[in-house]
Chain A
Amino acid sequence: MNENRIVVELRDVTKEFGRGGVTALRGIGLQVGAGEFVTLIGPSGCGKSTLLRVIGDLIEPTAGEVVVNGKSAHQARRERDYGIVFQDAVLYDWRTVAKNIALPLEMLGWDRRRRSERVRRMLELVELTGFEDHHPWQLSGGMQQRVSIARALAFDPPLLLMDEPFGALDEMTRERLNMELLRIWEASGSTVVFVTHSISEAVFLSTRVVVMSPRPGRITGVVDIDLPQPRVAETREQPRFFELVTAVRDRLRAGGAEAGEASEQELIAVEEGL
């Protein structure tokens, strides 16, 4: 793994939505190195979900440059350089767990033997061996998200984009999945860009926390998380952990209050749904 390689670079990225002239992002500059775990955090409407989608070429920026894995964001998407996980598992009810994980592999044209081998390894990775033939509705929310993560990593992308993946789960499940995610991150060696609302989750998971604020959406601060790796459950009880949480919270407070809740999601929906 090349420690100095830049996986994601954003230069002066701006995004204005439609005719309303809502500035979701202004002048975003960010670099994410290989193997990093970078979290975007901020109040509703600060543009973090928009930024994630700009990186994934699901939304086009109004201005600025996006370089992913050395290519344009569009090229990176065409070459499937990233996997994406949403807050909703977005699994297909009519496919079994195994077939859900195999979906991107089918689209890449992998043959059956290679697919089933990879699916088996992914199930081991997320510790769901034995559930291959279950259907999504038979699984709990946390398990569905694990399937979603397995699917995102199935074709071994260098980059993993995650949009509040644990937002719909309860605290205990969330903490457990945080640990699992870190384990998976280490094992796969991928780079992660993670979006969340939760300060403690951000500090626990990341190597760096990027604080954003709304109106217009911009980066107001970056906090380096120097907690030792690998993180363990006890990490949450260390004094340094609380210091970092406070640092992030202060930055958030300085950045300003939230914009209207519905606005960012609705704008994204209108923009992408056309």
Chain B
Amino acid sequence: MTSDAPLAVQPIPRDTFARGVGRRTRDWGPAVAVFVLGIAAWEGLVRGLGVQRFLLPPLSDILRTFWDDRDTFIDAGIFTFKEALGGFVLGACTGVLVALVLARWRSLGAAVMPYAIAANAIPIIAFAPITNNWFGLLSPASKVAIAAVICFFPVMVNTLRGLTSVRLQQIELMRSYAAGEVDVFRRVRIPNALPYLFSALKVATVLAMIGAIVGDYFGGSQEALGILIRRSAGIFAFEAAWAAILVASVLGIAFYAAVALVERLTMGWHASARGRS
């Protein structure tokens, strides 16, 4: 930050189509290459080295098993995804609300913070059998509850940090406008917290899916993905088990990507500010 001349101003980037394509290839090319190599390695190594088929069947077998029975897999996936989504929404909303309250009444927040951080260290998943007992083994509510509690803490802690890590001068500026607390929240704290919130939400998508599936291991409805995996593994139908695992993974990635997309749309300014300058 030195000279004041207009020439020092950063130009608004104007991408030509070719430049855009070139940049995208450079960004994603390596990942695509690794993907292709990975698939080839999977097929080649498994068949070539004769890795025990029941441990890691070739990808083609897994995909075929999936396709043959795709309705079952897809239905199970959707069932579990709904549990994860429910937990995600519940946990994230509660987390944001509590963070807003704790940011507004700072002394309460300061007192509670260490305990919230410690609570985050508790293996929540150990409570899965208890929620099963509360809501019934087969009810999706038990998995929703676990997923919600798992999502709550990271979202709450991160949002709170985002709401409070505002620079003093921004608050002073607002005070010089005789702004009330609501205005300070609306115009400064909340926009400042958005990057932190989205970071936590992305993590929460993965946690919610895992929570829902692991919850199944303590017992769950026959329609759930976790149960499907367990059952398939139990009867040594490993292609089916892996197919279900792939479904879970794809759903998790899609969930994460959806949140990342929302982040891009909401906070285009932040990404450009960080990436390009």
Contact B2 A141 (CB under 8 A): yes
A69 to chain B, nearest CB (A): 14
Contact B179 A143 (CB under 8 A): no
Q: Which of B1, B272, B277 contacts A141 (CB 8 A)?
A: B1
Q: Which residues does chain A contribute within 8 Å of B167, judged by CB atoms?
A: 88, 90
Contact A272 B273 (CB under 8 A): no
B75 to chain A, nearest CB (A): 42
Contact code string A100-140 (vs B, CB < 8 Å = 1, else 0): 00011001000000000000000000000001001101111
Q: Which of B173, B267, B277 contacts A84 (CB 8 A)?
A: B173
B264 to chain A, nearest CB (A): 14
A154 to chain B, nearest CB (A): 11
Contact A173 B177 (CB under 8 A): no
Interface residues in B, total, Cβ within 8 A: 31
Q: Which residues does chain A contribute within 8 Å of B267, judged by CB atoms?
A: 94
Q: Which residues does chain B contribute within 8 Å of A273, judged by CB atoms?
A: 168, 171
Contact A137 B277 (CB under 8 A): yes
Which residue of the partner chain A has the closest CB to B179? A107
B102 to chain A, nearest CB (A): 14
Report if A104-B168 is in contact (Cβ < 8 Å); known contacts: A140-B8, A142-B4.
no
Q: Which residues does chain A contribute within 8 Å of B9, judged by CB atoms?
A: 131, 134, 138-140, 143
Which residue of the partner chain A has the closest CB to B176? A84
Contact B168 A272 (CB under 8 A): yes
Taken together as a complex, chains A and B put the C-alpha atoms of A58 and B172 apart, in Å, by 7
Interface residues in A, total, Cβ within 8 A: 44
Is B47 located at the chain interface by the 8 A CB criterion? Answer: no
Contact B4 A272 (CB under 8 A): no
- B window 1-49: CB within 8 A of A: 1-5, 8-10, 12
Contact A140 B176 (CB under 8 A): no
Which residue of the partner chain B has the closest CB to A94? B269
Is A253 located at the chain interface by the 8 A CB criterion? Answer: no
Contact code string B179-214 (vs A, CB < 8 Å = 1, else 0): 100010001000100000000000000000000000
Q: Which of A58, A88, A134, A170 contacts B176 (CB 8 A)?
A: A58
Q: Which residues does chain B contribute within 8 Å of A177, judged by CB atoms?
A: 4
Is A242 located at the chain interface by the 8 A CB criterion? Answer: no
Is A82 located at the chain interface by the 8 A CB criterion? Answer: yes
Taken together as a complex, chains A and B put the C-alpha atoms of A139 and B8 apart, in Å, by 8
Taken together as a complex, chains A and B put the C-alpha atoms of A92 and B5 apart, in Å, by 22
Q: Which residues does chain B contribute within 8 Å of A57, judged by CB atoms?
A: 175
Is A176 located at the chain interface by the 8 A CB criterion? Answer: yes
Contact B178 A172 (CB under 8 A): no
Is A77 located at the chain interface by the 8 A CB criterion? Answer: yes
Q: Which of B4, B12, B169, B179 contacts A173 (CB 8 A)?
A: B4
Which residue of the partner chain A has the closest CB to B267? A94
Report if A78-B277 is in contact (Cβ < 8 Å); known contacts: A139-B9, A141-B2, A142-B3.
no
Q: Which residues does chain A contribute within 8 Å of B187, judged by CB atoms?
A: 92, 103
Contact code string A135-156 (vs B, CB < 8 Å = 1, else 0): 1011111111000000000000
Taken together as a complex, chains A and B put the C-alpha atoms of A163 and B4 apart, in Å, by 20
A42 to chain B, nearest CB (A): 21
Taken together as a complex, chains A and B put the C-alpha atoms of A78 and B145 apart, in Å, by 47
Taken together as a complex, chains A and B put the C-alpha atoms of A173 and B4 apart, in Å, by 6
Is B53 located at the chain interface by the 8 A CB criterion? Answer: no
Report if A138-B4 is in contact (Cβ < 8 Å); known contacts: A93-B270, A94-B269, A274-B106.
no
Q: Which of A58, A90, A137, A169 contacts B175 (CB 8 A)?
A: A58
Contact B168 A78 (CB under 8 A): no
Contact A272 B176 (CB under 8 A): no
Is A30 located at the chain interface by the 8 A CB criterion? Answer: no
Contact B2 A77 (CB under 8 A): no
Contact A80 B269 (CB under 8 A): no
Is A254 located at the chain interface by the 8 A CB criterion? Answer: no
Q: Which residues does chain B contribute within 8 Å of A78, judged by CB atoms?
A: 178
Is B170 located at the chain interface by the 8 A CB criterion? Answer: yes
B9 to chain A, nearest CB (A): 6
Contact B177 A104 (CB under 8 A): yes
Closest 5 CB pairs of A and B: A141-B1, A142-B4, A173-B4, A140-B8, A138-B10
Residues of B bordering A, CB below 8 Å: 1-5, 8-10, 12, 106, 167-173, 175-179, 183, 187, 191, 267, 269-270, 272-273, 277
- Contacts A77-B176, A138-B10 aside, 18 further interface pairs with beta carbons under 8 A come to A56-B172, A77-B178, A79-B178, A84-B172, A84-B176, A86-B172, A90-B173, A94-B270, A137-B277, A139-B10, A140-B9, A141-B2, A142-B3, A143-B9, A161-B176, A170-B2, A269-B168, A273-B171
